[in-house]
């Protein structure tokens, strides 16, 4: 019985992670950029156009304040 509970929790966490990554694909960059400063943080990463990256940064003003 204990193994089933562990399995259900593990599967639930994986599903939750997939859902978060689906609805918030830019969250990876926001988490990675928390400690960066200067142009490294403000430069457009692969997979984004400059306009979409600026829009993404506007959703995280506490992280990208110096870029906006």
d(CA 9, CA 4): 9
Distance of CA 29 to the CA centre of its chain: 5
Global pTM reads 0.48
Report domain extents, the chain: 2-67
pLDDT at 22: 86
Share of the chain above pLDDT 70, in %: 88
Q: Which two tokens stand for residue 55?
A: 């829009």
Task: Report the pLDDT value the prediction gives residue 1, as an integer from 0 to 100.
Answer: 64
**pLDDT bucket at 56, cuts 50 / 70 / 90:** confident
Mean pLDDT of 22-50: 77
């Amino acid at each position: 019985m204990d193994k089933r509970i562990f399995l259900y929790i593990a599967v639930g966490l994986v599903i939750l992670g997939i859902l978060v990554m689906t609805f918030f694909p830019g969250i990876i960059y926001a988490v990675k950029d928390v400690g960066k400063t200067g142009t490294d943080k403000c430069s457009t990463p692969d997979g984004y156009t400059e306009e979409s990256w600026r829009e993404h940064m506007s959703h995280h003003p506490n992280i990208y304040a110096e870029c906006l």
